[in-house]
Amino acid sequence: MKQILCLILLGAGALLSAQDAQDTIPKAEVSSSLQSVIINGRTLYLNAKAGTFEVRDENNEPVALMGFTYYALGDTRGMNTRNRPIVFAFNGGPGSSSFWLHMGALGPKRIVVNDPENTPAAPYRIVNNNQSILDVADLVMIDPVGTGLSIPVGKAKFKDFWGVDQDIRSLSLFITQFLIAQNRLNSPKYLLGESYGTFRNAGLMNKLLGQGIAMNGVIMVSAVFDLRSLLFPPGDDLPYIVHFPTYAATAWYHDKIENKEEDLLQFLEEVRAFTENEYTPALFKGDELSPEAKEAVATNLARYTGTDKAYWLKADLRVKASEFFAEFLREEGAVVGRLDSRFTGINQDLLSQEGSHDPQSMAISPAYITGFLDYYYRDLKVNKATTYAITAGSRKGFKWDWTHEGNQFWNAQAAINTGIDMAEALSRDPNMKVLVLNGIYDLATPFYGVEHSIRHMGLAKEVRDNISMKYYEAGHMMYTHAPSLEKFKQDIATFIRDSAR
C-alpha cells in the first residue's frame, strides 16, 4: 500500500511540475484595432491584429511566441472571406524584422522618404498607402524569432531558430498553425519575402508543399538563391561576373559613361553581352589570359563603369562590391550605396579600399524605424511595455547556422543554395507561380545573379515559364522610389489576381 501511495504521490508531483512548467510559459498577447486604407479612391476598413502567436512543435509543445501583424478586410458583405487571397510577408537579414516591407510598400500606412537623398529627422510623414496590396489580399507580416516581439518559449532556445533550416521550419509551423487558427486553409496563399526572405522563401515553399500546403504563388523581392553570388570566395569568378552589370548601371545613372546609351535597358543588354562573351571567358582563363587580351578586357571594364583601366588591371580584372563602393566616386570624395547605388555619401577616408558605410541605409533607416514604432504602439495599440527588436543582431549570442540539408553531399557542406529547394517545389507542383522583382541599382542582391541562378536550376521549360521577372530603376528597396512603388503594386496585384484563379 505504501508503494502504491508513493507512486501516486510521485505521479501527482510530476503532474504538478508539468503544470508549473506550463504556467511559466508566457501567453500570447494580441491587440485588436480597426484600421483603414484608401486605394484608388475607395476606403477599405480593416480588422487589424498585432502581437504574438503561440507556435507549437511537431509534438504539440509550445516553442515560440511569434510576432505578427494581420490585416483582414473588414467589410465582407457578400464575400466568402475564405476565398480571399492571403499573403505572408517578411524581410530578410537574416535577423531582420518585417517593418521595412510593412511601412514601405504593403501595409495601410507608408513612411515617406526623400529618395534618393537623406531624409531629415522627425517629424516624419506617415501617410495613407495608396499602393498597398490590401485591396487584392489580406496580409500577415511576420517577425522571425529574435526579431520584433518573437521569442522562444518552453524548452526552446534562440539557437533553435537561428539557422537556414531552423528558420524555414519555424516559419512553416507558424504559417500552417495560423491558417488553421484563422480558418484560412482554403484561401489562395502567397509568400512574399525580401532579400534573405527570398532565400528563405525558396526553402519554405518546398517545406510547406511537403507538409501538404501548396502556395498559389511566391513573390521574391530583391532575390538571392545562391549565396556564392554575394560572398566573393577565393577562386570563384561568379560573384565578379554577376555584379558587373550593376556596376555598369551605376555608372550609367551617375553619368560616368561617355556617349552613353539613352535607354538604360538597352544599355544593359549590351553590358550583358560583353559580360557573357568577353568578361566571363577572360576570368575563366585565369593566368593563361594573354597580356594583350587582358588589356582589351580592362579597357571595356573601365569604359562601362567610368573608372580607370589601370584600376582594373591592378585588381586582376576582379573588383569586389565593397571595393567598388569606395573607388567609383573616390575623386568626388563620395561612396555609393550598397542597397541602392543611386544614393551617395561622404567618404571620410579617400585612401580606403572599401566603402565606409551604406549611404542608402543611413538615409532612410531613422525614418523607417521611428515611424514604424510610432505607428505600431500608437495606432495598432500594441502593449508599450513590450520591446520591439528591430534586428536579432542586437541580441546577445546571435549567430546564424548556415548549414542546409539541401546542400549536403556525403556529409560535406557545399555552397549554400536554396534554389535547389525552389526547383524541386516548382517541378513537383507545376501550378505554382513565382514573381521575381529586381532593383537595377541593387548591389546587395544583383539582378544578374538571380538571372544566373534561375538559368541553372535545370527546370523543364513549362515550369521555367512559371517564373516571371520584373525590373525597377531603383535599388534593393525599390519601393522607396515613388514610380517604382506604383509599378511594384501593379506587378504584385496582377500576379495575385492571375494566380488565384
Topology classification of domain 24-228+365-499: Rossmann fold (3.40.50)
Grid cell of 313 as nine digits: 588591371
What are the C-alpha distances in Å from 440 to residues 24, 327, 354, 463? 50, 20, 22, 25
CA 25-30-36 angle, to 5 degrees, is 165
Q: Is 253 helix (H, G, I), strand (E, B) or coil?
A: helix
> Is residue 86 within 8 Å of residue 188, measured between CB atoms?
yes
Bridge partners of 85, per DSSP, are: none
Beta-sheet strands, E only, within 395-432? 408-409, 412-413
Domain boundaries, the chain: 24-228+365-499, 232-358
Q: Look-up: residue for cell 498553425?
A: 177
- At residue 84, the 3 state secondary structure works out as coil
Contact 102, 109 (CB under 8 A): no
Using alpha carbons, list the distances in angstroms from residue 25 to 155, 371, 384.
9, 32, 20
Question: What is the spatial distance between Cα 244 and Cα 312, in angstroms, rounded to a whole number?
Answer: 12
Per-residue pLDDT of the chain (501 residues; tens, 9 = 90+): 555 444 443 444 544 444 455 567 899 999 999 999 999 999 999 999 999 999 999 999 999 999 999 999 986 554 567 789 999 999 999 999 999 999 999 999 999 999 999 999 999 999 999 999 999 999 999 999 999 999 999 999 999 999 999 999 999 999 999 999 999 999 999 999 999 999 999 999 999 999 999 999 999 999 999 999 999 999 999 999 999 999 999 999 999 999 999 999 999 999 999 999 999 999 999 999 999 999 999 999 999 999 999 999 999 999 999 999 999 999 999 999 999 999 999 999 999 998 889 999 999 999 999 999 999 999 999 999 999 999 999 999 999 999 998 776 544 555 799 999 999 999 999 999 999 999 999 999 999 999 999 999 999 999 999 999 999 999 999 999 999 999 999 999 999 999 987
Nearest to 436 by CA among 199, 94, 265, 229: 199
Taking phi first (over 0 means left), then psi (-120 to 50 degrees means alpha), and beta for anything else, what does residue 324 get?
alpha
